[in-house]
């Protein structure tokens, strides 16, 4: 990415962070600043677009501005919210920082969320003055999640259901006991199933976005983010999040706080983000590590290549790309079971995290690395050792690798 492109990418966020940094440094509060995520290193951000026509570039740039815009009460923020803009949590379009972690609660099986009347499914832990802070109702289990990679999500969206089903079918005979399945979930009425959707016949569709793969497409993801993360209503989700502790009736649907044109430009921005591409592909150690990755069974779930179906955006149409996910959910064992779920995933089941952008993560997570759904793993090795359940056999093989294979594998992972 050229310095000019980088400047365009998240300009407002960068300006805000820079000003906060200067103010805090001058005030001598550097110890306090350490708690804040540092400014992403310019060479590590993934905010650039795929090849677009000039008209598409204009729309991408509008979406980019909105993605990094900061919302205030005057522009619809709240009254309950988690953060003030998409770019606060997705500042580099790579993995987010635990500083902006969010909490979901209220669903522990496939029967749906029992705490919707008490503010479920998401805790809005910030509120405008005059409103009571939300709390997790007693009896509700909860889960914390940090922001996943947003670069390349348009490619993930364009993978046909048939390809996801083929990967699940192949799992049925996997000798390591890998048994991934798609997350079938109800989709909201404003979402139009894609032409190649393979529904199950009970009104549920294969979903793919989010840590639990419970969200159907990018429109649903973005409309929900505006609503649940920022308290911003749209024609798609016309009601603000509600706090039962305030004893107020849920707000009536007024004029949407984000119009469809703006919201759809943000969908377009996400959809047209480039894929994070592997570096150092010619390096012998990287090649050795890639072979180890496949030979010890990592690639069963972290699928090295997927292919998109037709897309009206040429750059996304019939493309082979390397996300290192199968878009299926897998039982990761009791260590990663936090008692909360979405759709038909069990509480211990998580979508295979795409591994692209992994080597760039420390550059955007403030020099450290925070992996797995809640950022609990502080190194790549730790993340692998926390794999249980269906991934236990593969993680066991990792543990028994020779020093040379182990270090080659890590070098390979850092090249992603
Ligand atoms: C408070 C932090 C936060 C804010 C603000 C936020 N997100 Fe996210 N985003 C997340 C988290 C956490 C997830 C994973 C959620 C889940 O598992 O369902 C996510 C998931 C996503 C995904 C799906 C990625 C994938 O591979 O599944 C997209 C796309 C996305 N967000 C875009 C946006 C957009 C656009 C906005 C603004 C309208 C936004 N987000 C605002 C934290 C945030
Ligand atoms: C059974 C499927 C499966 C297998 C096999 C598997 N993984 Fe994973 N992996 C996952 C899932 C699911 C997650 C996300 C878990 C979570 O978010 O808590 C994940 C997460 C990760 C992460 C963290 C990524 C991030 O962005 O947070 C790394 C690194 C990783 N796996 C590497 C490996 C390696 C290396 C192997 C082989 C030794 C492997 N995995 C084998 C399913 C698997």
Q: How many CB atoms lie within 10 A of CB 190?
A: 12
Ligand 1 atom 2, closest CA: 89
Q: pLDDT for 105-127, tens place per residue?
A: 999 999 999 999 898 999 999 99
383 lines ligand 2 (CB under 6 A): yes
List CB contacts of 166: < 8 A, sequence separation 6 or more.
none
Q: Could you tell me the distance, in angstroms and rounded to a whole number, from the CA of residue 380 to the centre of ligand 2?
A: 10
Question: How many A from CA of 95 to the centre of ligand 1?
Answer: 10
How confident is the model at residue 92, as a pLDDT?
94
* Ligand 2 lined by 371 (C-beta under 6 Å): yes
Residue 354 CB less than 6 A away from ligand 2: no
Query: Is residue 304 within 8 Å of residue 327, measured between CB atoms?
Result: no
Rounded CA separation 67/323 (Å): 23
Q: Which residue, by CA, sits nearest to atom 14 of ligand 1?
A: 210
* CA-to-CA separations, 70 to 14, 77, 86, 275, in angstroms, rounded: 12, 9, 8, 25
Residue whose pair of structure tokens reads 């953060």 in the numeric block: 83
- Give the distance (Å) from ligand 1 centre to CA of residue 391: 26
- Among 344, 355, 340, which residue's Cα sits nearest to residue 387? 355
Please state the rounded mean pLDDT for residues 348-356. 98
Confidence of residue 353 (pLDDT cuts 50, 70, 90): very high
- Whether 297 is in the pocket of ligand 2, judged by its Cβ within 6 Å, is yes
Nearest to 210 by CA among 397, 44, 345: 345
Question: 148 in ligand 1 pocket by Cβ < 6 Å?
Answer: yes
Q: Cβ contacts of residue 214 below 8 Å, gap of 6+?
A: 183, 185, 207, 342, 343, 345
186, 390 Cβ separation under 8 angstroms: no
- Give the residue whose CA is nearest to atom 20 of ligand 2: 353
| Residue 214 alpha carbon, nearest atom of ligand 1 | 18
What span, in angstroms and rounded, lies between the C-alpha atoms of 243 and 248? 8
Summarised one tens digit per residue, pLDDT across range 238-281 is 999 988 888 665 567 789 999 999 999 999 999 999 999 999 99
Q: Is the pLDDT of residue 222 over 70?
A: yes
Whether pLDDT at 133 is above 60: yes
Q: Which atom of ligand 2 is nearest to the CA of 389?
A: 1
Q: pLDDT tens for residues 276-290?
A: 999 999 999 999 999
* pLDDT tens digits, one per residue of 144-188: 999 999 999 999 999 999 999 999 999 999 999 999 999 999 999
- Rounded to the nearest whole angstrom, what is the distance from the C-alpha of residue 403 to the centroid of ligand 1? 37
- Residue 170 backbone dihedrals phi, psi, to 5 degrees: -65, -30
Task: Look at residue 88 and tell me whether its pLDDT is greater than 80.
Answer: yes
Region of residue 254 (phi > 0: left; psi between -120 and 50: alpha; otherwise: beta): beta
Distance CA 333, CA 272 (A): 35
Of all atoms in ligand 1, which is nearest to the CA of residue 88? 5
Q: For the ranges 228-232, 344-348, 361-365, which has the lowest average pLDDT?
A: 361-365
CA–centroid distance, 210 to ligand 1, in Å, is 7
Instruction: Assess whether the C-beta atom of 327 lies below 6 angstroms from ligand 2.
Output: no
- Report CA(212)–ligand 2 centroid distance (Å): 13
């Amino acid at each position: 990415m050229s310095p000019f492109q980088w400047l365009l990418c998240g300009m407002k966020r960068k300006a805000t962070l820079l000003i906060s940094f200067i103010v805090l440094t001058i005030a001598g509060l550097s110890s306090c600043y350490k708690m804040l995520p540092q400014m992403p290193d310019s060479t590590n951000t993934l905010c650039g677009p795929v090849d677009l026509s000039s008209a598409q570039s204009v729309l991408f740039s509008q979406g980019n501005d909105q993605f990094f815009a900061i919302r205030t009460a005057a522009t619809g923020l709240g009254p309950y919210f988690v953060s003030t803009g998409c770019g606060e949590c997705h500042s580099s379009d790579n993995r987010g920082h635990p500083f902006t972690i969010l909490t979901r609660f209220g669903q522990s099986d496939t029967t749906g969320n029992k705490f919707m009347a008490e503010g479920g499914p998401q805790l809005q832990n910030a509120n405008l003055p005059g409103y009571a802070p939300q709390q997790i109702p007693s009896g509700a289990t909860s889960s914390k999640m940090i922001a996943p990679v947003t670069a390349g999500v348009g490619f993930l969206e364009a993978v046909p259901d048939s390809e996801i089903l083929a990967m699940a079918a192949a799992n049925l005979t996997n000798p390591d006991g890998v048994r991934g399945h798609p997350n079938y979930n109800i989709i909201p009425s404003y979402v139009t199933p894609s032409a190649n959707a393979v529904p199950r016949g009970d009104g549920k569709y294969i979903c793919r976005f989010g840590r639990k793969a419970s969200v159907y497409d990018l429109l649903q993801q973005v409309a929900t983010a505006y609503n649940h993360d920022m308290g911003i209503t749209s024609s798609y989700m016309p009601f603000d999040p509600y706090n039962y502790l305030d004893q107020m009736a849920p707000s009536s649907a007024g004029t949407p706080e984000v119009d469809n044109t703006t919201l759809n430009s943000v969908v377009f921005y996400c959809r047209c983000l480039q894929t994070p591409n592997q570096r150092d592909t010619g390096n012998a150690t990287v090649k050795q590590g890639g072979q180890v990755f496949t030979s010890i069974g990592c690639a069963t779930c972290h699928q090295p290549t997927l292919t998109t179906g037709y897309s009206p955006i040429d750059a996304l149409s019939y493309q082979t790309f390397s996300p290192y996910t199968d878009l299926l959910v897998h039982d990761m064992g009791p260590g990663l079971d936090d008692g909360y779920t979405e759709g038909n995933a069990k509480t211990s089941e998580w979508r295979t995290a795409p591994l692209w952008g992994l080597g760039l993560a420390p550059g955007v997570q403030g020099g450290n690395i925070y992996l797995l759904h809640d950022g609990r793993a502080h190194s790549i090795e730790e993340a692998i050792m926390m794999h249980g359940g269906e991934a236990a056999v593969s993680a066991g093989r990792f543990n028994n690798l020779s020093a040379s294979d182990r270090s080659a594998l890590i070098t390979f992972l850092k090249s992603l």
